Amino acid sequence: MVEELVAAVGAAHVVAGDDPSVADLCADEALGVPAGKPAWVVWPADRDEVAAVVRAARAAGMSVTARGAGTGLSGAATPDDGAVLVSFARMDRVLEVDPVEAVAVVQPGVPLTVLDAAAREHGLTYPVHPGEQSASLGGTVATNAGGMRAVRYGVTRSHVLGLEAVLADGSVVRTGGRLAKISSGYDLTQLLVGSEGTLALVTEVIVRLHPHLPARRTVLAPFPSADAVTAAVGRVLAAGLAPTICEYLDGPTMRAVCAAADLSLGLPEDLVDADHLLVELAGRRQERVDEDAEELADVLGTLGAADVFDLPAGSARRLVEAREGAFWAVKAAGADEIVDLVVPRSAMAAFLARARAAGDAHGARVLGCGHAGDGNVHLAVFQPDPERLGATLHDVFAAGIALGGAVSGEHGVGRAKAHALETFGDPAALEAVRRIRAALDPEGVLNPGCAVR
Amino acid sequence: MVEELVAAVGAAHVVAGDDPSVADLCADEALGVPAGKPAWVVWPADRDEVAAVVRAARAAGMSVTARGAGTGLSGAATPDDGAVLVSFARMDRVLEVDPVEAVAVVQPGVPLTVLDAAAREHGLTYPVHPGEQSASLGGTVATNAGGMRAVRYGVTRSHVLGLEAVLADGSVVRTGGRLAKISSGYDLTQLLVGSEGTLALVTEVIVRLHPHLPARRTVLAPFPSADAVTAAVGRVLAAGLAPTICEYLDGPTMRAVCAAADLSLGLPEDLVDADHLLVELAGRRQERVDEDAEELADVLGTLGAADVFDLPAGSARRLVEAREGAFWAVKAAGADEIVDLVVPRSAMAAFLARARAAGDAHGARVLGCGHAGDGNVHLAVFQPDPERLGATLHDVFAAGIALGGAVSGEHGVGRAKAHALETFGDPAALEAVRRIRAALDPEGVLNPGCAVR
C-alpha cells in the first residue's frame, strides 16, 4: 500500500499513522470523539494526487478521511482506524478572486481568514464566520458551517457556487460554476455541501463573495428572560433591520466569555446575569446604520430590554470575538459536550428551558448561547459521568426534535451525532440518504464511520 | 389499473388520458416538446392519496408525471405516453403563514400570486417571480425557478426550508423544517429542489418569506452595446446597491415587450433600439431608495448610458410586468424555441454576440433579454426548419458552455434540454446523477422521460 501512496503524493508526503508527528491530526475538536488510528497520513498537492490516493485506498480496501484544519466539532475529520487520512494542508491557495463576478476560486486547505483577507483587497468579503476563522474552507464546505453572520448572509451552502471533487471511484466531478444560479439537473453542489467527506473529497471551491460593509453599530440588550430575547429577535428581523449578528448569551456564558477575553463591558453587576441579546447592524453608510440603531434600540426597549448598551467599536469587536471563541471558554471550563441543535427561532427559549430541565434531571449543568436569529442553540453540558451525560443528551435532543428541530444546525453529524441522527431523524429520509451514499460509494471508501451509516 | 386509481383518489378524480377535457393538461409551455399521451389523469387531495397513486402506478408498471399549473418551459410536466399524470390542482391551500418565523407552509398546487398575497397580509412577501405568477409553487420547486428578483433574493432553492414528498416506492419523506439553517446529514431538501419530479412528488413545502419593501425606484438606461450593459451590471452590484431587478433587453425585445403591453415609455426613437438596462431598487425607506437611485444614475452615467430615465411607478410596473411576460410576446411573434442558458454575468455580452453569430450562420433570428445580474440569458430563436433550428441551438449551447455556462439557469432540463445536458454536461456529474436517480427510483417510475436518463 505505501508504495501506491508514495507514487501518488511522493515519499515526503506520506507518514505512518502511528508516527508521533501526526498525533495531532488524528482528531478534530469534538469533545466526545476519541482520536482515530489511521494507517497513513498523506498530503496531496493537487486534484490528481487526491484522485490517486482515493484509487489506491479503494484498491487496498482501506477507507479515506479528509481533514482540513481540524477545527470541526463533530468528529467528521477524525479518521476511522486503519484509514488513509488525507490532509489538505498543501492545497491552501486562493487561486483567484474575481471582483467582477464577485467570486473566489479556492483550494480546500485555505483558512477562512486568508480567503476573507484576499476578498477584502477587492472591497469584498467572505462572510461565513463559524467562530473559528482558522477553519479551512474545505472543512466548512464539508460541514456546511454557519456562524454568527448566517442570520444575514446564510451559511456555507448559500455561498458555494461550484465544486471540483474526487468521488469514491477516483473520478473527478465538476459541478456548478461561476454562475449566480443554475437549474440544470440535480444540484450536486448542494448535495456535496454538508456531506462530511462521505460522498467526495472536494479539491476546489467556487464561492460567492459580498460587498464589504464598512459601517457598523453593535448593541447589547439585557433582557429579564430568554423568552423575552426570543420574542425580540422575531421583531428585529420582521422590521427588516437585517442584522449581521443576532446572538443570545445567557448570564453564565456572558461571564465566561468576558472572563476569557479579559473584557469588561461596564454593565451594572445586576445585569450581567441577565439573558443577553447582542445585535450588530452593518451597512454601506454610517448615517443609515446609526438611524437603524436608534430604531433597533426603540424596538428592544418596548420589548422589555432592561437597557440598551451601545458598545464602542473596540469593545464590540472584542465581545464578538470572545463570543466566537465561546467554545474554547467552555472547553477550558471543563464542558463535557457541546450541543448544536437548531429549532424554529421562536422556540429557542422553550428549548433552553427544556434542555436545562433535562440537565437538572440528570445532574448536569447546561449553559446556553446561540445564534438567536437562526434558532441555532449551542449548549455546553457539564456532566463527567458518561451514562448520565448520555441520558442528558438524549433528553436534550428529544426536546429539540419535539419542538420541530434538527440534531445539528451548523456543526454537522460526524461521528459525534451519528447515533442521534439515527435515533431522531426521519426514517424515510435516512433510508434515502443510505441509498444515495451506497450508490456513489458502494464499497464504503469515504469516511465510513461518519454520518448516516 | 383504474380500480386502484379510483380507490386512491375517488372516481370523480380519475379521467382517461384521451378524454378531450384533459387535452390541455398533456403539455406545458415548452415550445419544442409535443404533448404526451397519458393513460390517466388523477387529482389527489392529499399526501396519502398521492402515495396511493404512486404505489398503484408502480405496481402496474406505469410511470408518474407531476403537473402543477403547466407554465413550465422545458416539458418537465409533459407526461410520458402511458403515464399517470398527477395534477396538484386540488392541493392548492396555503396551510399557514407564520409571521414570527417568517415562513409559509404551502401545498404544491398553490399559485405564486396566492402565496404572495397571503404573505403580504403579514407585511411579508414571497419574492420569487419567475415571470408567470400563475405558476404553482410545486412547479417552481421542481424546476428551481428563478426570475427577475433572484438577483437580490435568490432563486426558489434559497427559499425552500423543508419538504414533505412521496418517493418512488410510495414512502413519505420529510426534510428540513421551519429552520433557518441545518447541517444534519445530506440535504435532501436541496436535492429534491430542481429534480423535476424525477425523485419525488412534493406534497408540502415550507418556504422562507421576506419583509415586504414598500419603497421603490425604477430606472431605465439605454446603452450603446450589450458590452456596456454587462460592464455596468458588475459595477452596480459591486457598489452594494442590491437591486431587486437588473434586467437586460435588446432593442427588438424592448419593442416587442412595449408593443405587447401597449406601453409607451416616451423614449426618443433613436434610443428604443439601444441595449437597455432596467434596474429596480427597493427598500424600507423611500428617502434611502431615492438617494440610492441618484447614486445608481451617477454610476450608469459614467459607464456610458446614453441617458438614465426615472420611470414613473405606473410605467415601471407595466414595463416589469411586460418584461415578465416576454415569453408570451415572443411566442406570439412566432418564436420557435426559447433558450435559458446561464453564463458568468460578465460573459453575457460575449454570449449574446456568439449566439447571434450562430443564428446568422444557420439563418435564424435571435432576440435576447435576460436577468443580467445573474447572467441568465433568455433567447428567442426564430427558425422554423427543424434541422437548422437544431444546428442553431447546438451552436448556442456550445457557445454558452465554452464561456463557463450551463444549459439552464431557471427553466430546468425537462424533456426539452435532456439532450443538451447529455451533450454538454460534465460526464462524471451525469453518471453520479444517474446513480442517484437509480438508487431512489430503481424501476423508473417517476417522470422517466425527463432530465438525465
pLDDT for residue B330: 87
Residue A432 with chain B: CB contacts under 8 Å:
167, 173, 188, 440
Q: Considering only CA atoms, which of A411, A367, A374 is closest in space to residue A392?
A: A367
Cell 477545527 belongs to: A71
**What does the alpha-carbon distance between residue A169 and residue A285 come to, in Å, rounded to a whole number?**
51
> Beta strands of A243-375 (E only): which ranges?
245-249, 275-283, 309-311, 337-339, 365-371
pLDDT digits (tens, 9 = 90+) for A219-276: 999 999 999 999 999 999 999 999 999 999 999 989 988 988 899 988 998 899 999 9
Nearest to B186 among A195, A211, A411 (CB): A195
Which residue type is seen at A165?
A
3 state DSSP class of A152: helix
**What does the alpha-carbon distance between residue B145 and residue B376 come to, in Å, rounded to a whole number?**
12
**What does the alpha-carbon distance between residue A105 and residue B301 come to, in Å, rounded to a whole number?**
32
Instruction: List all residues of chain A from 69 to 128 with a beta carbon under 8 Å from chain B.
Output: 99-102, 123-124
3 state DSSP class of A188: helix
Q: Is some CB atom of chain B closer than 8 A to the CB atom of A406? A: yes
Grid cell locating A305? 430590554
Contact between residue B162 and residue A356 where contact means Cβ atoms under 8 Å apart: no
CA dihedral A55, A57, A63, A64 (to 10 degrees): -70
pLDDT band at A1 (very low <50, low <70, confident <90, very high): confident
Calculate mean pLDDT across residues B117-144: 96
Question: How far apart are the CA of A71 and the nearest CA of chain B, in angstroms?
Answer: 16
Contacts of B279 by beta carbon, 8 Å cutoff, 6+ apart: B218, B219, B220, B221, B236, B243, B245, B246, B247, B296, B300
Q: Which option is the CATH number for A2-87: 3.40.50.720, 3.30.479.30, 3.30.43.10, 3.40.640.10?
A: 3.30.43.10
- Report the first-to-last Cα separation within chain B, whole angstroms: 26
**What does the alpha-carbon distance between residue B16 and residue B422 come to, in Å, rounded to a whole number?**
33
CATH code for the structural domain at B94-211: 3.30.465.10
- Is B284 exposed, middle or buried, given 0-12, 13-18 or 19+ CB atoms closer than 10 A? middle
On the question of pLDDT at A328 being above 90, the answer is no
Contact call for B426 and A174, based on CB within 8 A: yes
Closest chain A residue by Cα to residue B102? A238
Cell 453529524 belongs to: A413
pLDDT for residue A167: 98
3 state DSSP class of A351: helix
On the question of pLDDT at A111 being above 90, the answer is yes
Positive or negative, the CA dihedral A318, A323, A328, A334 is positive
pLDDT band at B452 (very low <50, low <70, confident <90, very high): confident
CA dihedral B119, B122, B127, B128 (to 10 degrees): -10
Contact call for A345 and B180, based on CB within 8 A: yes
pLDDT band at B193 (very low <50, low <70, confident <90, very high): very high
pLDDT for residue A433: 98
Residue B288 with chain A: CB contacts under 8 Å:
288
pLDDT for residue A121: 98
C-alpha distance from residue A5 to each of A39, A43, A63, A127, A444 (Å): 11, 10, 13, 37, 19
pLDDT winner (highest mean) among A55-59, A262-266, B256-260:
A55-59
Contact call for A179 and B234, based on CB within 8 A: no
Q: Is some CB atom of chain B closer than 8 A to the CB atom of A338? A: no
Q: Is some CB atom of chain B closer than 8 A to the CB atom of A342? A: yes
Instruction: List all residues of chain A from 129 to 148 with a beta carbon under 8 Å from chain B.
Output: 143-146
Residue B183 with chain A: CB contacts under 8 Å:
143-146, 155, 194, 408-413
Q: Considering only CA atoms, which of B178, B168, B225, B145 is closest in space to residue B51?
A: B168
On the question of pLDDT at A327 being above 90, the answer is no
Q: Is some CB atom of chain A closer than 8 A to the CB atom of B261? A: no
Contacts of B312 by beta carbon, 8 Å cutoff, 6+ apart: none
pLDDT for residue B36: 97
Domain ranges of chain B: 2-87, 94-211, 215-327, 334-433
On the question of pLDDT at A332 being above 90, the answer is no
pLDDT for residue B425: 96
Nearest to A150 among B181, B186, B438 (CB): B181
Nearest to B179 among A102, A406, A412 (CB): A406
pLDDT band at B117 (very low <50, low <70, confident <90, very high): very high
**What does the alpha-carbon distance between residue B71 and residue A146 come to, in Å, rounded to a whole number?**
36
On the question of pLDDT at A75 being above 90, the answer is yes
Question: How far apart are the CA of B405 and the nearest CA of chain A, in angstroms?
Answer: 7
Q: Considering only CA atoms, which of A106, A112, A96, A95 is closest in space to residue A149?
A: A112
On the question of pLDDT at A182 being above 90, the answer is yes
Contact between residue B447 and residue B66 where contact means Cβ atoms under 8 Å apart: yes
Q: Is some CB atom of chain A closer than 8 A to the CB atom of B375? A: yes
pLDDT for residue A99: 95
On the question of pLDDT at B129 being above 90, the answer is yes
pLDDT for residue A400: 98
pLDDT band at B260 (very low <50, low <70, confident <90, very high): confident
pLDDT for residue B333: 87
pLDDT band at B453 (very low <50, low <70, confident <90, very high): confident
pLDDT for residue A377: 95
Q: Is some CB atom of chain A closer than 8 A to the CB atom of B59? A: no
pLDDT band at A313 (very low <50, low <70, confident <90, very high): very high
Tell me the percentage of chain B whose pLDDT exceeds 90: 93
* Matching fold, domains B2-87 and B334-433: no
Contact call for A409 and B179, based on CB within 8 A: yes
Calculate mean pLDDT across residues A97-106: 96
pLDDT for residue A330: 87
**Pairing mode, if any, of strands B94-98 and B103-106?**
antiparallel
Calculate mean pLDDT across residues B239-263: 93
Contact call for B426 and A175, based on CB within 8 A: yes
Nearest to A183 among B99, B288, B410 (CB): B410
Residue B344 with chain A: CB contacts under 8 Å:
101, 177-179
- Residue B281 has, within 13 A of its CA and on its CB side, a CA count of 26
Tell me the percentage of chain A whose pLDDT exceeds 70: 100
Contacts of A269 by beta carbon, 8 Å cutoff, 6+ apart: none
pLDDT for residue B286: 98
The secondary structure element, H or E, covering residue B215 is strand B215-223
Residue B181 with chain A: CB contacts under 8 Å:
144, 146, 150, 154-155, 342, 374, 376, 409-410
pLDDT band at A325 (very low <50, low <70, confident <90, very high): confident
**Pairing mode, if any, of strands A64-67 and A84-87?**
parallel
Positive or negative, the CA dihedral A14, A20, A24, A26 is positive
Contact between residue B335 and residue B379 where contact means Cβ atoms under 8 Å apart: no
The secondary structure element, H or E, covering residue B391 is helix B386-402
Closest chain B residue by Cα to residue A102? B238
In this structure, the number of other CB atoms found within 10 A of the CB of residue A271 comes to 18
Q: Is some CB atom of chain A closer than 8 A to the CB atom of B11? A: no
Gyration radius of chain B's alpha carbons: 22
Calculate mean pLDDT across residues B183-201: 97
Cell 404505489 belongs to: B55
pLDDT digits (tens, 9 = 90+) for A284-301: 999 999 999 999 999 999
- Residue A348 has, within 13 A of its CA and on its CB side, a CA count of 38
Gyration radius of chain A's alpha carbons: 22
Calculate mean pLDDT across residues B166-188: 97
In this structure, the number of other CB atoms found within 10 A of the CB of residue A377 comes to 28
Number of A:B CB contacts under 8 A? 263
Contact call for A425 and B213, based on CB within 8 A: no
Q: Could you tell me how far CA A317 lies from the centroid of its own chain?
A: 20
Contact call for B155 and A409, based on CB within 8 A: no
CATH code for the structural domain at B334-433: 3.30.70.2740
Contact between residue A74 and residue A30 where contact means Cβ atoms under 8 Å apart: yes
Question: How far apart are the CA of B263 and the nearest CA of chain A, in angstroms?
Answer: 31
CATH code for the structural domain at A215-327: 3.30.70.2190
Q: Considering only CA atoms, which of B149, B146, B153, B147 is closest in space to residue B325?
A: B147
C-alpha distance from residue A241 to each of A126, A249, A319, B283 (Å): 21, 20, 21, 11
Tell me the percentage of chain B whose pLDDT exceeds 70: 100
